[in-house]
């Protein structure tokens, strides 16, 4: 998702306005409000693939998969964001009784775009790291096969594992599941002269 800046809000002012919005989303960063614009076909497809694969594997357990409609509040950074996908394991902790602002996700995934990649890797990740509950942060490219998985270690450090092979499996230990890179890129076509480079679509 791309963003445009509107400055000068307190969080509670932002939240009151955002809850009344019908056809727009805005992220909040320490007094600044960023209007979000729509993503590409590939962006939407990858986000749906991640959601579907996680939902299938986590069904019946204690973890829930949430779409980009769920706001995530990072109190320590004075930030509120709409990740492309998030996962909650255990009981939810909300900002208030409205139950529309979550504060304790276990996993966050963002699909990268040229306009947002630098922020997703830099400032936004710095904000997300301040969530004590967060264990995994996934960054998925939409223009090539590339998945970066940041995992919080027991001592608080973050470890990066990078995947660029369609046949790779991604372990997410905090959730007790593995994601297939091929499944994340199902039906996604890249600009390539070699059809062998394209992840094949599933047959009906």
User: Is residue 140 within 8 Å of residue 163, measured between CB atoms?
Assistant: no
Is residue 13 classed as helix, strand or coil in its secondary structure?
Answer: helix
Q: What is the 3-state secondary structure (H, E, C) of 55-99?
A: HHHHCCCCEEEECCCCEEEEHHHCEEECCCEEEEECCCCECCCCC
CA distance 177 to 14: 36
Would you tell me how many other CB atoms lie within 10 Å of the CB of residue 202? 9
pLDDT value for 51: 98
Q: List the domains of the chain with CATH numbers.
A: 40-187 (3.90.1570.10)
Confidence of residue 4 (pLDDT cuts 50, 70, 90): very low
Q: pLDDT tens digits for 112-156?
A: 988 889 889 998 999 999 999 999 999 999 999 999 999 999 999
Confidence of residue 158 (pLDDT cuts 50, 70, 90): very high
When the pLDDT of each residue in the chain is averaged and rounded to a whole number, the result is: 88
Is residue 45 classed as helix, strand or coil in its secondary structure?
Answer: helix
pLDDT value for 166: 97
Is residue 17 classed as helix, strand or coil in its secondary structure?
Answer: helix
Q: pLDDT tens digits for 69-126?
A: 999 999 999 999 999 999 999 999 999 999 999 999 999 999 998 888 988 999 899 9
Is residue 40 classed as helix, strand or coil in its secondary structure?
Answer: coil
pLDDT value for 194: 52
Confidence of residue 199 (pLDDT cuts 50, 70, 90): low
| Alpha helices by DSSP H, the chain | 11-20, 41-58, 117-121, 123-128, 181-184
CA distance 119 to 180: 26
Torsion 18-21-25-26 (CA) sign: negative
In 3D space, the residue among 71, 63, 65 whose CA is nearest the CA of residue 33 turns out to be 71
Confidence of residue 21 (pLDDT cuts 50, 70, 90): confident
């Amino acid at each position: 998702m791309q963003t445009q800046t509107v400055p000068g809000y307190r969080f509670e002012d932002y939240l009151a306005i955002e809850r009344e919005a019908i056809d727009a989303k805005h992220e909040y960063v320490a007094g600044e409000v960023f209007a979000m614009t729509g993503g590409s076909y590939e962006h939407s497809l990858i986000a749906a693939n991640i959601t579907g694969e996680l939902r299938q594997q986590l069904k019946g357990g204690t973890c829930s998969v949430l779409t980009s409609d769920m706001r995530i509040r990072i109190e320590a950074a004075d930030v509120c964001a709409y990740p492309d996908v998030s996962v909650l394991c255990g009981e939810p902790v909300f900002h208030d009784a409205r139950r529309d602002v979550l504060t304790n996700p276990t996993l966050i995934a963002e699909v990268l775009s040229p306009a947002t990649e630098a922020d997703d890797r830099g400032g936004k990740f710095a904000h997300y790291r301040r969530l004590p509950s967060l264990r995994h942060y996934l960054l998925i490219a939409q223009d090539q096969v590339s998945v970066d998985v940041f995992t919080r270690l027991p001592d608080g450090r973050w470890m990066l594992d990078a995947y660029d092979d369609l046949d790779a499996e991604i372990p997410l230990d905090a959730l007790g599941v593995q994601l297939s890179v091929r499944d994340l890129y199902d039906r996604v076509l890249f600009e390539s002269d070699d059809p062998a480079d394209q992840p094949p679509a599933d047959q009906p």
